[in-house]
Amino acid sequence: MSVVVKFRTAAQLTGGRVLLWSLLGRLPNAMSPIGTLLLVSRNTDSVWRGSLVAGALAGGQAIGGPLVGRLADRRGQRTVGLVAALVNATALVALVAASQRGLPLGWQIAPAALIGLSVPLVGPLSRSRWVRLAAGDAELTSSMLSLDGIVDEVSFTAGPALVGVLATLASPAAGLLTAAALSGVCATLFALHPTASPGVPKSHARSTEHLLNTPYVLLMLGMALLGACFGSVQVGVTATTESLGRPGAAGLLYGFIGFTSAFAGVAAAGLPARWELPSRLRAGTVLLFVASCVLLFSGGNLWTLTAAVGFLGVAVAPQMITMFGLVERTVPAVRLGEAMAALVSALILAQSAGTFLGGWATAHFAPAAPFAITVGAAAAALLLAAFTATEQRYRRRAPATSGLPATALSEAAGSPRDAAPAQSC
Protein backbone atom coordinates (compact mmCIF):
# COMPACT_ATOMS: atom_id res chain seq x y z
CA MET A 1 0.00 0.00 0.00
CA SER A 2 1.46 3.37 -1.02
CA VAL A 3 1.98 6.26 1.39
CA VAL A 4 -0.74 8.29 -0.35
CA VAL A 5 -3.25 5.45 -0.05
CA LYS A 6 -2.35 4.93 3.61
CA PHE A 7 -2.87 8.58 4.42
CA ARG A 8 -6.11 8.72 2.43
CA THR A 9 -7.44 5.72 4.35
CA ALA A 10 -6.41 7.23 7.67
CA ALA A 11 -7.99 10.59 6.82
CA GLN A 12 -11.24 8.92 5.72
CA LEU A 13 -11.34 6.95 8.96
CA THR A 14 -10.96 10.02 11.17
CA GLY A 15 -12.87 12.55 9.10
CA GLY A 16 -11.43 15.66 7.48
CA ARG A 17 -12.79 18.25 9.86
CA VAL A 18 -11.65 16.56 13.03
CA LEU A 19 -8.10 16.58 11.64
CA LEU A 20 -8.44 20.36 11.19
CA TRP A 21 -9.75 20.77 14.75
CA SER A 22 -6.89 18.56 15.92
CA LEU A 23 -4.33 20.80 14.23
CA LEU A 24 -5.81 24.12 15.35
CA GLY A 25 -6.67 22.78 18.81
CA ARG A 26 -3.06 21.90 19.60
CA LEU A 27 -1.65 25.23 18.40
CA PRO A 28 -2.23 26.88 21.83
CA ASN A 29 0.06 24.28 23.38
CA ALA A 30 2.84 25.44 21.05
CA MET A 31 1.98 29.14 21.38
CA SER A 32 1.57 29.47 25.14
CA PRO A 33 5.18 28.97 26.38
CA ILE A 34 6.86 31.44 24.03
CA GLY A 35 3.86 33.79 24.21
CA THR A 36 4.03 33.84 28.01
CA LEU A 37 7.77 34.49 27.98
CA LEU A 38 7.43 37.40 25.53
CA LEU A 39 4.42 38.94 27.29
CA VAL A 40 5.75 38.89 30.83
CA SER A 41 9.31 39.80 29.84
CA ARG A 42 8.11 42.86 27.94
CA ASN A 43 5.64 44.01 30.60
CA THR A 44 8.11 43.58 33.47
CA ASP A 45 11.29 44.51 31.57
CA SER A 46 12.80 41.31 32.97
CA VAL A 47 13.59 38.13 31.06
CA TRP A 48 14.11 36.41 34.42
CA ARG A 49 10.52 37.16 35.50
CA GLY A 50 9.25 36.05 32.11
CA SER A 51 11.19 32.81 32.44
CA LEU A 52 9.79 32.24 35.91
CA VAL A 53 6.19 32.58 34.75
CA ALA A 54 6.85 30.46 31.65
CA GLY A 55 8.47 27.87 33.92
CA ALA A 56 5.31 27.74 36.03
CA LEU A 57 3.35 27.01 32.86
CA ALA A 58 5.72 24.20 31.88
CA GLY A 59 5.58 22.72 35.37
CA GLY A 60 1.80 22.80 35.37
CA GLN A 61 1.73 21.12 31.98
CA ALA A 62 4.07 18.34 33.09
CA ILE A 63 1.83 17.63 36.09
CA GLY A 64 -1.54 18.28 34.49
CA GLY A 65 -0.99 16.32 31.29
CA PRO A 66 -1.13 12.84 32.85
CA LEU A 67 -3.97 13.90 35.14
CA VAL A 68 -6.12 15.14 32.25
CA GLY A 69 -5.23 12.02 30.27
CA ARG A 70 -6.26 9.78 33.17
CA LEU A 71 -9.56 11.61 33.57
CA ALA A 72 -10.20 11.32 29.82
CA ASP A 73 -9.59 7.57 29.99
CA ARG A 74 -11.93 7.21 32.96
CA ARG A 75 -14.64 9.77 32.10
CA GLY A 76 -14.43 9.96 28.33
CA GLN A 77 -12.68 12.45 26.07
CA ARG A 78 -15.78 14.51 25.39
CA THR A 79 -16.51 15.82 28.88
CA VAL A 80 -12.91 16.12 30.04
CA GLY A 81 -11.73 17.70 26.78
CA LEU A 82 -14.54 20.26 26.86
CA VAL A 83 -13.86 21.31 30.46
CA ALA A 84 -10.10 21.50 29.86
CA ALA A 85 -10.55 23.64 26.73
CA LEU A 86 -12.78 26.15 28.49
CA VAL A 87 -10.59 26.36 31.60
CA ASN A 88 -7.48 26.73 29.46
CA ALA A 89 -8.99 29.56 27.42
CA THR A 90 -10.09 31.35 30.60
CA ALA A 91 -6.65 30.99 32.20
CA LEU A 92 -4.96 32.41 29.09
CA VAL A 93 -7.20 35.48 29.21
CA ALA A 94 -6.56 35.82 32.96
CA LEU A 95 -2.78 35.77 32.43
CA VAL A 96 -2.99 38.47 29.77
CA ALA A 97 -5.16 40.63 32.04
CA ALA A 98 -2.85 40.18 35.04
CA SER A 99 0.29 40.95 33.04
CA GLN A 100 -1.17 43.93 31.18
CA ARG A 101 -2.36 45.45 34.46
CA GLY A 102 1.06 44.95 36.05
CA LEU A 103 -0.20 42.82 38.93
CA PRO A 104 2.36 41.23 41.31
CA LEU A 105 4.27 38.26 39.94
CA GLY A 106 2.31 35.74 41.99
CA TRP A 107 -0.91 36.82 40.28
CA GLN A 108 0.74 36.03 36.95
CA ILE A 109 2.30 32.74 38.03
CA ALA A 110 -1.07 31.37 39.20
CA PRO A 111 -2.91 31.63 35.83
CA ALA A 112 0.24 30.44 34.02
CA ALA A 113 0.31 27.29 36.14
CA LEU A 114 -3.42 26.81 35.48
CA ILE A 115 -2.78 27.11 31.74
CA GLY A 116 -0.34 24.23 32.00
CA LEU A 117 -2.58 22.16 34.25
CA SER A 118 -5.57 22.54 31.92
CA VAL A 119 -3.94 21.98 28.52
CA PRO A 120 -6.67 20.16 26.52
CA LEU A 121 -4.15 17.51 25.40
CA VAL A 122 -5.44 17.49 21.84
CA GLY A 123 -2.22 15.82 20.64
CA PRO A 124 -2.07 12.86 23.08
CA LEU A 125 -5.83 12.35 22.99
CA SER A 126 -5.75 12.42 19.18
CA ARG A 127 -3.22 9.60 19.17
CA SER A 128 -5.28 7.62 21.66
CA ARG A 129 -8.41 8.20 19.57
CA TRP A 130 -6.72 7.25 16.29
CA VAL A 131 -5.30 4.04 17.77
CA ARG A 132 -8.79 2.99 18.84
CA LEU A 133 -10.14 3.83 15.42
CA ALA A 134 -7.52 1.56 13.86
CA ALA A 135 -9.03 -1.32 15.87
CA GLY A 136 -5.79 -3.26 16.22
CA ASP A 137 -4.73 -3.03 12.55
CA ALA A 138 -0.94 -2.58 12.86
CA GLU A 139 -0.46 -1.05 9.40
CA LEU A 140 -3.37 1.36 9.79
CA THR A 141 -2.19 2.30 13.28
CA SER A 142 1.23 3.17 11.87
CA SER A 143 -0.34 5.28 9.10
CA MET A 144 -2.56 7.17 11.54
CA LEU A 145 0.29 7.85 13.94
CA SER A 146 2.42 9.07 11.03
CA LEU A 147 -0.38 11.37 9.91
CA ASP A 148 -0.75 12.65 13.46
CA GLY A 149 3.02 13.16 13.63
CA ILE A 150 2.82 15.48 10.64
CA VAL A 151 0.00 17.44 12.30
CA ASP A 152 2.16 17.68 15.43
CA GLU A 153 5.14 18.99 13.48
CA VAL A 154 3.01 21.60 11.72
CA SER A 155 1.66 22.86 15.04
CA PHE A 156 5.13 22.77 16.61
CA THR A 157 6.45 24.95 13.77
CA ALA A 158 3.47 27.22 13.17
CA GLY A 159 2.65 28.00 16.82
CA PRO A 160 5.80 29.93 17.80
CA ALA A 161 5.92 31.55 14.33
CA LEU A 162 2.35 32.82 14.75
CA VAL A 163 3.20 34.25 18.16
CA GLY A 164 6.24 36.00 16.68
CA VAL A 165 4.22 37.54 13.85
CA LEU A 166 1.47 38.75 16.18
CA ALA A 167 4.01 40.14 18.65
CA THR A 168 5.66 42.08 15.82
CA LEU A 169 2.47 43.37 14.20
CA ALA A 170 0.48 43.97 17.40
CA SER A 171 1.75 42.85 20.82
CA PRO A 172 2.64 39.66 22.73
CA ALA A 173 -0.83 39.82 24.29
CA ALA A 174 -2.35 39.26 20.84
CA GLY A 175 -0.56 35.92 20.59
CA LEU A 176 -1.95 34.62 23.88
CA LEU A 177 -5.45 35.93 23.16
CA THR A 178 -5.35 34.11 19.82
CA ALA A 179 -4.27 30.96 21.67
CA ALA A 180 -7.23 31.43 24.03
CA ALA A 181 -9.62 31.68 21.09
CA LEU A 182 -8.17 28.58 19.43
CA SER A 183 -8.36 26.62 22.67
CA GLY A 184 -11.91 27.73 23.43
CA VAL A 185 -13.23 27.06 19.92
CA CYS A 186 -11.12 24.43 18.15
CA ALA A 187 -10.19 22.28 21.14
CA THR A 188 -13.88 22.34 22.09
CA LEU A 189 -14.91 21.20 18.60
CA PHE A 190 -12.33 18.42 18.80
CA ALA A 191 -13.72 17.30 22.15
CA LEU A 192 -17.32 17.31 20.89
CA HIS A 193 -16.63 15.49 17.61
CA PRO A 194 -18.49 12.15 17.22
CA THR A 195 -15.17 10.25 17.27
CA ALA A 196 -14.88 11.17 20.97
CA SER A 197 -16.78 9.08 23.46
CA PRO A 198 -19.26 10.81 25.79
CA GLY A 199 -18.16 8.32 28.45
CA VAL A 200 -16.60 4.92 29.01
CA PRO A 201 -17.95 1.67 30.42
CA LYS A 202 -18.10 1.58 34.22
CA SER A 203 -15.70 -1.34 34.25
CA HIS A 204 -13.11 0.88 32.57
CA ALA A 205 -13.79 3.81 34.86
CA ARG A 206 -13.02 1.50 37.79
CA SER A 207 -10.06 -0.15 36.08
CA THR A 208 -7.13 -0.87 38.38
CA GLU A 209 -4.76 -2.07 35.66
CA HIS A 210 -1.25 -0.76 36.30
CA LEU A 211 0.20 1.76 33.89
CA LEU A 212 3.87 1.50 34.79
CA ASN A 213 5.81 -1.48 33.52
CA THR A 214 9.39 -1.92 32.36
CA PRO A 215 8.80 -1.37 28.61
CA TYR A 216 6.74 1.77 29.24
CA VAL A 217 9.30 3.21 31.68
CA LEU A 218 12.01 2.62 29.07
CA LEU A 219 9.93 4.47 26.49
CA MET A 220 9.49 7.39 28.90
CA LEU A 221 13.25 7.49 29.41
CA GLY A 222 13.82 7.41 25.65
CA MET A 223 11.34 10.24 25.13
CA ALA A 224 13.03 12.24 27.91
CA LEU A 225 16.39 11.88 26.17
CA LEU A 226 14.78 13.13 22.96
CA GLY A 227 13.42 16.10 24.92
CA ALA A 228 16.91 16.86 26.23
CA CYS A 229 18.05 16.96 22.61
CA PHE A 230 15.27 19.44 21.77
CA GLY A 231 16.09 21.78 24.63
CA SER A 232 19.83 21.86 24.07
CA VAL A 233 19.43 22.30 20.30
CA GLN A 234 17.09 25.23 20.84
CA VAL A 235 19.64 27.04 22.99
CA GLY A 236 22.54 26.08 20.73
CA VAL A 237 20.82 27.36 17.59
CA THR A 238 19.87 30.63 19.29
CA ALA A 239 23.38 31.23 20.67
CA THR A 240 25.16 30.20 17.47
CA THR A 241 23.06 32.41 15.18
CA GLU A 242 23.69 35.33 17.53
CA SER A 243 27.44 34.69 17.45
CA LEU A 244 27.28 34.64 13.65
CA GLY A 245 25.53 38.00 13.64
CA ARG A 246 22.23 36.54 12.39
CA PRO A 247 19.98 36.29 15.47
CA GLY A 248 16.83 36.55 13.36
CA ALA A 249 17.72 33.29 11.60
CA ALA A 250 17.02 31.20 14.71
CA GLY A 251 13.27 31.19 14.12
CA LEU A 252 13.73 30.12 10.50
CA LEU A 253 16.00 27.28 11.59
CA TYR A 254 13.41 26.04 14.09
CA GLY A 255 10.90 26.05 11.26
CA PHE A 256 13.31 24.12 9.05
CA ILE A 257 13.67 21.44 11.71
CA GLY A 258 9.90 21.09 11.76
CA PHE A 259 9.77 20.90 7.96
CA THR A 260 12.35 18.13 7.61
CA SER A 261 10.83 16.29 10.56
CA ALA A 262 7.37 16.38 8.96
CA PHE A 263 8.86 15.15 5.68
CA ALA A 264 10.50 12.25 7.53
CA GLY A 265 7.19 11.48 9.21
CA VAL A 266 5.56 11.10 5.80
CA ALA A 267 8.38 8.86 4.64
CA ALA A 268 8.07 6.73 7.79
CA ALA A 269 4.54 5.79 6.78
CA GLY A 270 5.98 4.10 3.69
CA LEU A 271 8.21 1.74 5.63
CA PRO A 272 7.24 -1.92 5.19
CA ALA A 273 5.17 -3.44 7.98
CA ARG A 274 7.68 -6.30 8.31
CA TRP A 275 10.20 -3.79 9.72
CA GLU A 276 9.12 -4.06 13.34
CA LEU A 277 8.92 -1.04 15.63
CA PRO A 278 11.77 -2.06 17.98
CA SER A 279 14.09 -2.34 14.97
CA ARG A 280 12.96 1.07 13.78
CA LEU A 281 13.66 2.49 17.22
CA ARG A 282 17.21 1.15 17.20
CA ALA A 283 17.84 2.44 13.68
CA GLY A 284 16.32 5.81 14.56
CA THR A 285 18.62 6.32 17.54
CA VAL A 286 21.62 5.65 15.30
CA LEU A 287 20.39 8.37 12.93
CA LEU A 288 19.78 10.73 15.86
CA PHE A 289 23.29 10.19 17.21
CA VAL A 290 24.97 10.70 13.82
CA ALA A 291 22.93 13.86 13.19
CA SER A 292 23.81 15.27 16.61
CA CYS A 293 27.51 14.65 15.97
CA VAL A 294 27.25 16.54 12.69
CA LEU A 295 25.55 19.38 14.55
CA LEU A 296 28.45 19.60 16.98
CA PHE A 297 30.82 20.64 14.17
CA SER A 298 28.44 22.88 12.22
CA GLY A 299 28.81 26.22 13.96
CA GLY A 300 31.27 27.71 11.47
CA ASN A 301 28.68 29.37 9.25
CA LEU A 302 24.94 29.63 8.78
CA TRP A 303 24.76 27.26 5.81
CA THR A 304 26.42 24.33 7.56
CA LEU A 305 24.28 24.96 10.62
CA THR A 306 21.14 24.92 8.46
CA ALA A 307 22.13 21.63 6.84
CA ALA A 308 22.91 20.09 10.22
CA VAL A 309 19.64 21.07 11.90
CA GLY A 310 17.74 19.84 8.83
CA PHE A 311 19.50 16.49 9.14
CA LEU A 312 18.61 16.35 12.83
CA GLY A 313 14.96 17.04 12.00
CA VAL A 314 14.88 13.93 9.82
CA ALA A 315 15.54 11.82 12.93
CA VAL A 316 12.86 13.42 15.10
CA ALA A 317 9.40 12.49 13.76
CA PRO A 318 10.20 8.81 13.05
CA GLN A 319 11.48 8.45 16.62
CA MET A 320 8.39 9.98 18.16
CA ILE A 321 6.01 8.04 15.90
CA THR A 322 7.79 4.79 16.75
CA MET A 323 7.68 5.41 20.50
CA PHE A 324 4.00 6.33 20.43
CA GLY A 325 3.36 3.16 18.45
CA LEU A 326 5.20 1.09 21.04
CA VAL A 327 3.17 2.65 23.86
CA GLU A 328 0.05 1.16 22.30
CA ARG A 329 1.66 -2.26 22.72
CA THR A 330 2.78 -1.88 26.30
CA VAL A 331 0.01 -0.24 28.34
CA PRO A 332 -3.58 -1.22 29.12
CA ALA A 333 -6.00 -0.02 26.46
CA VAL A 334 -8.16 1.72 29.07
CA ARG A 335 -5.22 3.94 30.11
CA LEU A 336 -3.87 4.79 26.68
CA GLY A 337 -4.71 8.50 26.84
CA GLU A 338 -2.96 8.87 30.19
CA ALA A 339 0.06 6.97 28.88
CA MET A 340 0.36 9.20 25.81
CA ALA A 341 0.07 12.33 27.98
CA ALA A 342 2.70 11.11 30.46
CA LEU A 343 5.09 10.45 27.59
CA VAL A 344 4.65 14.05 26.43
CA SER A 345 5.22 15.26 30.02
CA ALA A 346 8.52 13.38 30.12
CA LEU A 347 9.48 15.14 26.88
CA ILE A 348 8.54 18.57 28.27
CA LEU A 349 10.39 18.17 31.57
CA ALA A 350 13.53 16.90 29.86
CA GLN A 351 13.32 19.68 27.29
CA SER A 352 13.29 22.22 30.12
CA ALA A 353 16.32 20.50 31.67
CA GLY A 354 18.10 20.50 28.30
CA THR A 355 17.38 24.21 27.90
CA PHE A 356 18.77 24.95 31.36
CA LEU A 357 21.93 22.90 30.80
CA GLY A 358 22.33 24.42 27.34
CA GLY A 359 22.17 27.93 28.79
CA TRP A 360 24.76 27.02 31.40
CA ALA A 361 27.05 25.55 28.74
CA THR A 362 26.73 28.65 26.57
CA ALA A 363 27.56 30.95 29.47
CA HIS A 364 30.61 28.94 30.57
CA PHE A 365 32.03 27.67 27.29
CA ALA A 366 30.98 28.65 23.77
CA PRO A 367 27.83 29.30 21.69
CA ALA A 368 27.97 25.79 20.19
CA ALA A 369 28.59 24.10 23.57
CA PRO A 370 24.91 23.09 24.01
CA PHE A 371 25.31 20.76 21.05
CA ALA A 372 27.65 18.65 23.17
CA ILE A 373 24.69 18.06 25.49
CA THR A 374 22.68 17.04 22.42
CA VAL A 375 25.37 14.49 21.52
CA GLY A 376 25.41 13.12 25.07
CA ALA A 377 21.62 12.72 25.18
CA ALA A 378 21.58 11.08 21.73
CA ALA A 379 24.37 8.70 22.74
CA ALA A 380 22.42 7.70 25.85
CA ALA A 381 19.31 7.13 23.69
CA LEU A 382 21.36 4.98 21.32
CA LEU A 383 22.69 2.81 24.15
CA LEU A 384 19.24 2.53 25.72
CA ALA A 385 17.66 1.35 22.47
CA ALA A 386 20.54 -0.95 21.58
CA PHE A 387 20.26 -2.89 24.85
CA THR A 388 16.51 -2.75 25.52
CA ALA A 389 14.52 -2.35 22.26
CA THR A 390 13.91 -6.00 21.43
CA GLU A 391 10.98 -7.78 19.82
CA GLN A 392 10.51 -9.88 22.94
CA ARG A 393 10.30 -6.87 25.26
CA TYR A 394 7.85 -5.02 23.05
CA ARG A 395 5.73 -7.96 22.01
CA ARG A 396 2.15 -6.82 21.50
CA ARG A 397 0.26 -7.53 24.71
CA ALA A 398 -3.17 -7.04 23.09
CA PRO A 399 -4.82 -4.76 20.54
CA ALA A 400 -5.52 -1.29 21.88
CA THR A 401 -9.22 -2.06 21.68
CA SER A 402 -9.04 -5.15 23.86
CA GLY A 403 -11.71 -5.21 26.50
CA LEU A 404 -13.90 -2.77 24.56
CA PRO A 405 -17.17 -4.35 23.52
CA ALA A 406 -18.22 -3.69 19.95
CA THR A 407 -20.88 -1.21 21.02
CA ALA A 408 -18.48 0.63 23.31
CA LEU A 409 -15.85 0.79 20.58
CA SER A 410 -18.38 2.29 18.21
CA GLU A 411 -19.28 4.93 20.80
CA ALA A 412 -15.68 5.64 21.79
CA ALA A 413 -14.07 5.95 18.42
CA GLY A 414 -16.32 4.93 15.56
CA SER A 415 -15.57 2.05 13.24
CA PRO A 416 -14.37 1.95 9.65
CA ARG A 417 -17.99 1.69 8.61
CA ASP A 418 -18.65 5.02 10.35
CA ALA A 419 -15.96 6.86 8.39
CA ALA A 420 -18.35 8.70 6.08
CA PRO A 421 -20.58 10.13 8.84
CA ALA A 422 -17.52 11.12 10.86
CA GLN A 423 -16.07 12.94 7.91
CA SER A 424 -19.19 14.95 7.36
CA CYS A 425 -19.32 16.24 10.92
pLDDT band with cut points at 50, 70 and 90 for residue 425: very low
Residue 402 has pLDDT above 50, yes or no: no
Residue 37 has pLDDT above 50, yes or no: yes
List, for residues 226-267, the tens digit of each pLDDT value: 989 988 887 788 788 878 887 667 767 877 887 788 788 777
User: What's the pLDDT score for residue 251?
Assistant: 65
Q: What is the mean pLDDT of residues 289-299?
A: 89
pLDDT band with cut points at 50, 70 and 90 for residue 94: very high
Average pLDDT score over the chain: 79
Selection from 19-28, 63-72, 192-201, 260-269 with the highest mean pLDDT: 19-28
Q: What is the mean pLDDT of residues 94-120?
A: 93
Residue 379 has pLDDT above 50, yes or no: yes
Which amino acid, one-letter code, is at 247? P
CA–CA distance from 390 to each of 198, 259, 384 (Å)? 37, 30, 11
Q: Give first-to-last CA distance, the chain, whole Å.
A: 27
pLDDT band with cut points at 50, 70 and 90 for residue 115: very high
User: What's the pLDDT score for residue 327?
Assistant: 84
pLDDT band with cut points at 50, 70 and 90 for residue 67: confident
List, for residues 150-208, the tens digit of each pLDDT value: 787 778 767 777 877 787 788 889 989 999 999 999 999 988 888 776 555 554 545 55
pTM: 0.71
Q: Which domains does the chain have, with CATH numbers?
A: 3-397+413-424 (1.20.1250.20)
User: What's the pLDDT score for residue 396?
Assistant: 60
User: What's the pLDDT score for residue 358?
Assistant: 82
pLDDT band with cut points at 50, 70 and 90 for residue 406: very low
pLDDT band with cut points at 50, 70 and 90 for residue 282: very high
Q: What is the mean pLDDT of residues 355-365?
A: 82
- Dihedral sign of CA atoms 282, 218, 345, 400 in order: positive
User: What's the pLDDT score for residue 183?
Assistant: 93
